[in-house]
Amino acid sequence: MSEQVILVDKNDNIIGVEEKLKAHQLGLLHRAFSIFILRRNPELELLMQKRALTKYHSGGVWTNSCCGHPRPSEPLMEAAARRLKEEIGLSIPLKEIGTFTYKAHVGNNLTEHEIDHILIGYWEGQLTAPNPEEVETLQWHNLNETLAEMNKHPSLFTVWVKEGLEMVVNFTKK
């Protein structure tokens, strides 16, 4: 069975479901999440992934630690825990810090149109090998240096990661 996403209105109220690829072909607004895993070393760092080249869009560019879409009837935090384990092999507590909505063309005649729930977690341990179908590589990146690099070279990063990272930086300053 093909993956489905939850279609939502501008207030994140569920209005239906659609096959994931079709939702991206039509640019339909759907629910998503982006996970940002942090550590102190001694400054705050973000675990970033370079997406696998074989991904259906945005392959070979840097993004946040993990992202995905809840399945119909799947609570957001359960979906996030599932994807975090599937992509990078971690099971850690996550906290939602906010949402934002964006719409952007991502290549291959696809459009991301999402209400993106931003989740954070902390990890100080060893990393396991990520799922090669999802992730080319994982690396820790200094938060402030990464934001500066995103401003200089936005094409090296996914279209959603900068706004999410800015939310994370603002949250960690509280």
Q: 30, 39, 3, 168: which is closest to 111 by C-alpha?
A: 30
Q: What is residue 49's three-state secondary structure?
A: strand
User: What band does 2 get if pLDDT is binned at 50, 70 and 90?
Assistant: confident
Catalytic-labelled residue, pool 45, 87, 114, 134? 114
Q: What is the pLDDT at residue 148?
A: 92
Question: pTM for the whole thing?
Answer: 0.95
Q: 114, 106, 9: which is closest to 51 by C-alpha?
A: 106
Report the length, in residues, of the chain.
174
Domain ranges of the chain: 4-172
Catalytic-labelled residue, pool 67, 87, 112, 134? 67
Predicted confidence (pLDDT) at residue 128 exceeds the cutoff of 70: yes
| DSSP letters for 50-118 | EEPTTSSSSTTSEE-SEEE-PPTT--HHHHHHHHHHHHH------EEEEEEEEEEEEETTEEEEEEEEE
Average pLDDT over residues 121-138: 94
Matching CATH number, 4-172, of 3.90.79.10, 3.30.200.190, 3.30.450.20, 3.40.50.1010:
3.90.79.10
- Dist CA 26 CA 28 (whole Å): 6
Contact 35, 84 (CB under 8 A): yes
User: What band does 1 get if pLDDT is binned at 50, 70 and 90?
Assistant: low
Q: Any catalytic annotation for residue 67?
A: yes
Q: What is the pLDDT at residue 76?
A: 97
- Dist CA 124 CA 127 (whole Å): 9
